[in-house]
Structure 1
């Protein structure tokens, strides 16, 4: 056992003890967090505009602070970007996380010194809780790779600006720097395919023990590694590779192919970081769900997903949520985001402690006919059948076909790139459709009522989604293909790749 792994175990035990102080008292931790947030921001422009001095509890807070998305907060954020102090949070942000917006173009998410510390602490604690539970710490002695965006930062009115993953690259603890790959020079390569090739060259002869990234881009890395080593499995290239850390998308659609590439099952840790804050991570290999970080400088609110577009939707604090209900997640953060709709939907799978799964995006659904099918439903329907029939999925997306050929009923059109195709695509499609009907009663009613015909699957050529993302200038990094669209913008681009 190396020195680092030996030291990590008592440190992990101490960290888990600290976590347990709020883990089973999360509602109280959230109440205290709200008080601290409001107190620290009462003299900001936002705090004055929303009478923070009169807020004493959550009911007061709801009365003063409306729900907003980025567009709703943009007038305040623009002032922050312009260099003004004490707008949303005290002083100026330490960083801006630069992300892509759908209606506002580039979005600048403020990151304060306090919120950045919570990002780093959460990433560390995700690994340490794993060490404590499993006793496995040898991975800290080997090389670790984090597939991420470029660490090159620009300056916006004196504030460092870049992708979140690029910002975090500058803040990796010193004790991990020697273990960390790729090199800074390689990490700065903007073209994703060139970057992956350079990463392969740097790592193929290293003792990689931990690999982290968004699953589809990790799969590309694995594919390139295998090509460079005459088809070897990853377990034969990296004999001590023992831990996969991922986030950004649901892993299940990628699991079979990634494990096939590795050549064995491997421990994994799911994380839920966002530019707005590190929200949750998997704290156990034995139970479902991600531990909601109730003591990390963020106060969470939850709106029942089916009420999200109502004029006055129900707003719930943590103590009011229920199991197995879909909620839109709302953040109030120690970087100055208030009543902020992050756009994600979550479901609680445990209330003691509070654990969630990410079920999709508020804007990623299909309801062209009133069915309101969500990401969790299509993923579970597809994977349940694929697992039964030993079918492997590389990537997929779904869109409505509202104007089919004359004489046909409308339908949901599924574009799937298979790593291992079904023996009978029509039979496979029928089973997926039946599984979706069982998941969504509205979809079932539309099929039974002959409003819709059963779904149709289009099998796509190899690398179709890579080629699509390349054509959109979104290959690699933190970019993800939406699983569901209520329009046909993506579908029309993918038609050219149909087998």
Structure 2
């Protein structure tokens, strides 16, 4: 009876929520300026607000003139003051949380999450589920068990500010109506070693009625593979009522074939775009590509054309200025005190009614040793198209430039871990090169001009990426291995895992 009432309530809430959401979808561009000016007004007495003359900002243009684009190195001095307990620095009062993320040049990053910002992290996920329920008229998953593959919910304390991984922070805010059905247990969730944790999660879930599973694709795959190895059954046979997978963190498409093979039956997929800096988008229509940009969640968005990113006078566009099918560096101003902050993600709009995006790469993840500036979206689409022509099963891949080969000309080197290799390896290689040339004219010119050889493929042994991640302390949680790089730091280590 309780499950029936829970399902009925979910259906009613979902319909109301989606009806209400239509308002912000229609007025997204117009409402964005209101969001910005509200944030500026709220923070005008903060240290950052005083230093940047927030009192005299009344338009988007004035904001852009007074507040330059920043990255973590730029805001780090402010963060250090907040970490010492100082209030009203970037945002009013002190943050409710610090989301701790791994950085490269900056070491660990501490991203503030305010008491105003935290609810939107939860609302984003809720909204994704409500849109799914309303579209399918089905909330059966609320009757079963739900698993969230996430980081440890154990939080540290920095001058009264609770600090931990975002997924661990979110674990403290799961709505009460979901807590009873939620797995894994607290004791399992706080295990730090990822392989030990996965084994315990399997013990707790293998005999349960699992209906919803959430996590980033590489770690969902690891969980599924271990379950299949133990029971010799596909996931849909182990969990016949599994209805929904919610995923985010990386582009799902390159993992789709592998996931479908492991699942062994139909399971709906919802893709989301959460980050420590905010919950930006989700798949409001799970039957087609594209994530709905959340323009009413306390975040003001700007977009810099990727070819201009990093230049002194780069254009800073707002929603009303964007073009479809063009890559933009994503810039954020948030209700947690990030101001014109470059998050490092690259997005591409595929629709304006409403505004829907694809995450097409990272500003720091590209290959351009020869001036080609290949991005993640291009190599992922090239791989996807190649697999249609020459079927294979791929676990993971990484692309790096080979500038000084032992023999032959410079080239792109692809490190690929195959679950099942293509029948004709050479045709697969040629097609992959052709598909990338089709998507990146600069790369095509380099091949045509005999400046580069066609790409090379280095095949890796089974579990190579798993072993690499483990060796680097990047196994589990929200850790992700870049699909491509402009240097050979990852590539040189992957050489040790050649077949």
Give the structure 1 partner of residue 374 of structure 2.
373
Give the structure 2 partner of residue 238 of structure 1.
239
1:100-156 C-alpha deviation (Å, 9 max, x unpaired): 011111100000011100111111110011000111210011000010000000001
- Please point out which of 157, 163, 169 is paired with 1:161: 163
Pair 1:400-2:401 in alignment: yes
Provide the TM-score with structure 2 as the length reference: 0.99
Give the structure 2 partner of residue 264 of structure 1.
265
- Please point out which of 26, 41, 44 is paired with 1:42: 44
1:204-247 C-alpha deviation (Å, 9 max, x unpaired): 00000001100010000001111221x10101110100101100
For the Cα contact (< 8 Å) 1:403–1:410, is it kept in 2? yes
Give the structure 2 partner of residue 437 of structure 1.
437
Distance 2:496 2:460 in 1: 9
5+ residue gaps, structure 1: none
Give the structure 1 partner of residue 274 of structure 2.
273
Shift of 1:476: 0.7
Distance 2:255 2:417 in 1: 11
Shift of 1:287: 3.4
Q: Secondary structure at the match of 1:368?
A: coil
Give the structure 1 partner of residue 428 of structure 2.
428
5+ residue gaps, structure 2: none
Provide the TM-score with structure 1 as the length reference: 0.99
Distance 2:91 2:168 in 1: 23
Shift of 1:389: 2.1
For the Cα contact (< 8 Å) 1:253–1:394, is it kept in 2? no
Distance 1:468 1:420 in 2: 20
1:253-276 C-alpha deviation (Å, 9 max, x unpaired): 111111111102321100000000
Distance 1:202 1:29 in 2: 45
Give the structure 2 partner of residue 187 of structure 1.
189
Distance 2:42 2:15 in 1: 32
1:21-36 matched pairs, under 5 angstroms? 21-36=23-38
1:32-58 C-alpha deviation (Å, 9 max, x unpaired): 101110010000000000000000000
Q: Secondary structure at the match of 2:80?
A: helix
For the Cα contact (< 8 Å) 1:283–1:291, is it kept in 2? yes
Give the structure 2 partner of residue 171 of structure 1.
173
Give the structure 2 partner of residue 203 of structure 1.
205
1:292-331 matched pairs, under 5 angstroms? 292-331=293-332
Q: Secondary structure at the match of 1:113?
A: coil
Distance 1:387 1:240 in 2: 30
Q: Secondary structure at the match of 1:329?
A: strand
For the Cα contact (< 8 Å) 1:299–1:333, is it kept in 2? yes
1:409-459 C-alpha deviation (Å, 9 max, x unpaired): 100000011112111222111110001000000000000000000001111
Q: Secondary structure at the match of 1:89?
A: coil
For the Cα contact (< 8 Å) 2:390–2:424, is it kept in 1? no
Pair 1:469-2:469 in alignment: yes
